[in-house]
Structures are given as structure tokens and as C-alpha cells.
């Protein structure tokens, strides 16, 4: 039942500044940096159209932040373990996908979106 769930929140292992974005992009191309959530939601330069479509089909919003622009309560819940996906319910925040779990999708956006949908159905 999703009535208690108000949103999903994803936090990237990258900063939203121009320098942060450029550093991540270059580092990712050179194999020096990696964010498994970025792989699921973004292509080479922009958000994947597949992700946009999948996110619209979820019954709750999916909001994303970077390490440097996430709300304090989200950062507290993550406790420095980036990237992560959290769920906000009427009872508070919980981390539901960690770096390793996000990596297990191996960049497959459809599988990630299906997992989120199934999570809501079984919540």
C-alpha cells in the first residue's frame, strides 16, 4: 500500500556545481569516478528518456539531489554513504537502496524502475 509513501529520493555521488559536474563527467570517462545512480538515470550528457518515462509511471514522485544540495534530513539518513535511494513515508526517511544495491542493476534503467514499482506494491 503506497498511501504512507510520499516520495522516493535519490542522491548522486557527485556535486551539482559546474566544477563538480565537469569533474564527475571527466572522471567517469577516465574510469576514476563512478556513481551507480547516475548510470541508471543519465546518459552521456542528459537524463535518459527511458528514465524520464519510467519515473513518470511511478505512483509517487522520485526526486534527485547531489551530495551538496540534498536536504539536511536526507543527508543525515544517508550518513555519507553515496549514492543511495531513500523512501519518505509519513513516519520518516529510510534508505532502501545503497551503492552496492544500485550497482547490481548494472545500469539497467528498466530493471531499476521495475524494482521501485514492486517495492511500492509490496510496501
| 0.75 surpassed by pTM | yes
Kindly report the three-state secondary structure assignment for every residue of 33-82: CCCHHHHHHECCCCECHHHHHHHHHCCCCEEEECCCCCCHHHHHHHCCCC
Helix axes 109-122, 49-57, angle to 10 degrees: 10
Cell readout for 57 is: 509511471
Q: Which CATH code, of 3.30.2450, 2.60.40, 3.30.70, 3.40.30, is assigned to 5-122?
A: 3.40.30
Q: What pLDDT, on the 0 to 100 scale, is given for residue 60?
A: 95
- How do residues 29-59 score in pLDDT, each as one tens digit? 666 777 899 889 987 778 889 999 989 999 9
Every domain of the chain and the residues it spans: 5-122
- To which residue does cell 510520499 refer? 6
Q: How high is the pLDDT of residue 18? A: 67
Q: Are 73 and 93 contacting, i.e. CB atoms less than 8 angstroms apart?
A: yes
Amino acid at each position: 500500500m503506497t498511501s504512507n509513501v510520499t516520495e522516493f529520493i535519490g542522491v548522486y555521488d557527485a556535486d551539482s556545481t559546474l566544477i563538480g559536474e565537469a569533474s564527475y563527467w571527466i572522471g567517469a570517462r577516465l574510469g576514476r569516478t563512478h556513481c551507480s545512480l547516475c548510470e541508471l538515470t543519465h546518459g552521456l550528457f542528459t537524463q535518459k528518456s527511458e528514465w524520464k518515462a519510467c519515473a513518470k509511471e511511478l505512483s509517487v514522485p522520485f526526486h534527485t539531489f547531489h551530495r551538496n544540495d540534498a536536504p539536511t534530513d536526507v543527508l543525515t539518513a544517508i550518513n555519507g554513504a553515496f549514492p543511495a535511494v531513500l523512501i519518505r513515508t509519513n513516519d520518516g526517511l529510510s534508505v532502501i537502496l545503497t551503492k552496492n544495491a544500485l550497482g547490481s542493476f548494472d545500469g539497467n534503467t528498466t530493471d531499476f524502475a521495475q524494482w521501485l514499482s514492486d517495492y511500492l506494491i509490496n510496501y
